[in-house]
Amino acid sequence: MTKTILPDPRQFPRFAGVVTFCRYPLLQLIPPKSPPLDWALYGVPFDGGVTYRPGARFGPRAVRDASQYVKRYSIEHDVDVCEVLSMADAGDAPVSPYDCKENAERVVEFAAGVGEAGHTKLLAVGGDHSIAYANLRATWERRGRPTGGLACVHFDSHLDTVDSVWGEKWGHASPFIRAIEEGLIDPKRMISIGIKGPLNTKADLDYARDNGVRIVTHGDWVRGGGAEIAAFVKEIGEAEAYLTFDIDCVDPAFAPGTGTLCPGGFSSTEVLGILRSLAGLNVVGADVVEVLPDRDPAGITAFLAAHVVFEVLCLDAVRKTR
């Protein structure tokens, strides 16, 4: 399989048929002797790691539904992702709703068997941000356990490097401290974009800063932080990078359907523009998380998340066409 075959929307309407991410084929329906898959997209319907509003366990279902109107050709990148990449929906990972660490272990085990390790890249749709650790670990293992860890581009309102909340070390406030501790991420090749809002304490910044994570707050970005992001992408060059996207980096005026809202963030236009500016990044795995459908009555958050998924895939497609 060298490209992705989609149903013709002029023959098979987008409102009909089995719902999959962006109408990509179901993985189990792809003939077993097909060439290796480039990307496997899968859901992780888990929100046992949240610290405020629950409900993101329904995020993968909402994003799948919203993604039926995501098309295949990017005007901005001049690339047809379905002509360049082979992609499939691998379904949902099994979850352990009452135990964050056990859930991570189950997701890693599931992801290990998806596609072909070393070739097929994983894009996980959450679910809360705790699921990023699991997809990160699976990606790191499938890329040969690179010494020093992967580079990381992180979009969020929060740094998610808190050691523990209420004694829980594997919740959505802690995926990156765990990933750095275990060598999955190189903190000196990590950038956190869009950080904003009041903190519990100034010390919440210490772990990331002390370990070399570059922080581009939303205010920094307004004051010209786009240059710092571009410099980071140039600096890491061909390094394999993981992209993690928490929808709450977007202003709730544009993405109200999330559990830890923080006003004053990116507009939809701005965040899509930043993603497109990452062209050249060697993305080897990704996640899009924290969509909470019950707080998203018009479906605009899930729709934006579906387009973020598309923009991530575009980054890989652009690299393959250069």
- 132-149 per-position pLDDT tens digit: 999 999 999 999 999 999
In this prediction, residues 156-174 reach a mean pLDDT of 96
* 15 or 84: which leads in pLDDT: 84
How many Cβ atoms from other residues are within 10 Å of residue 119's Cβ? Answer: 12
- The angle at the Cα of 157, spanning 156 to 158, to the nearest 5 degrees, equals 90
Confidence of residue 190 (pLDDT cuts 50, 70, 90): very high
> Strand 282-289 vs strand 150-155: parallel, antiparallel, or unpaired?
unpaired
User: Which helix H or strand E contains 217, and what residues bound it?
Assistant: strand 214-217
- Asked if residue 170 lies in contact with residue 132, where contact means CB atoms within 8 angstroms, the answer is no
* 39 or 322: which leads in pLDDT: 39
- Asked if residue 122 lies in contact with residue 108, where contact means CB atoms within 8 angstroms, the answer is no
pLDDT of residue 1: 46
Residue 34 has pLDDT above 90, yes or no: no
- Asked if residue 114 lies in contact with residue 120, where contact means CB atoms within 8 angstroms, the answer is yes
pLDDT tens profile 64-108: 999 999 999 999 999 999 999 999 999 999 999 999 999 999 999
Question: Which range is least confidently modeled, 22-36, 125-139, 175-189, 199-213?
Answer: 22-36
DSSP assignment of 230-295 equals HHHHHHHTT-EEEEEEEGGGB-TTT---SSS--SS-B-HHHHHHHHHTTTT-EEEEEEEE---GGG
pLDDT tens profile 205-256: 999 999 999 999 999 999 999 999 999 999 999 999 999 999 999 999 999 9
Among residues 64, 125, 59, the alpha carbon closest in space to that of 259 is found at 59
Residue in this structure with the two tokens 């890693």, named with its chain if needed: 108
- Number of residues that this document lists for the chain: 322
Q: How far apart are CA 123 and CA 249, in angstroms?
A: 19
Tokens of 255: 């993405």
pLDDT of residue 128: 98
- Asked if residue 162 lies in contact with residue 173, where contact means CB atoms within 8 angstroms, the answer is yes
Cβ contacts of residue 307 below 8 Å, gap of 6+?
Answer: 70, 272
pLDDT tens profile 274-316: 999 999 999 999 999 999 999 999 999 999 999 999 999 999 9
245-to-118, 200, 242 alpha-carbon distances in Å: 23, 22, 10
User: Which helix H or strand E contains 56, and what residues bound it?
Assistant: none
Tokens of 265: 């963030």
Tokens of 108: 């890693």
Confidence of residue 2 (pLDDT cuts 50, 70, 90): low
pLDDT of residue 16: 80
- Asked if residue 289 lies in contact with residue 56, where contact means CB atoms within 8 angstroms, the answer is yes
- Asked if residue 111 lies in contact with residue 261, where contact means CB atoms within 8 angstroms, the answer is no
Q: How far apart are CA 172 and CA 86, in angstroms?
A: 31
Question: What mean pLDDT, rounded, does the chain reach?
Answer: 95
- Asked if residue 139 lies in contact with residue 285, where contact means CB atoms within 8 angstroms, the answer is yes
Residue 15 has pLDDT above 90, yes or no: no
The DSSP bridge partners found for residue 217 are: 195
pLDDT of residue 312: 98
- Asked if residue 40 lies in contact with residue 120, where contact means CB atoms within 8 angstroms, the answer is yes
Q: How far apart are CA 42 and CA 209, in angstroms?
A: 32
Confidence of residue 14 (pLDDT cuts 50, 70, 90): confident
Q: How far apart are the first and last CA of the chain?
A: 21
Residue 46 has pLDDT above 90, yes or no: yes
**Mind listing the domains of the chain with CATH numbers?**
21-321 (3.40.800.10)
Within its chain, how far is the Cα of 101 from the centroid?
A: 19
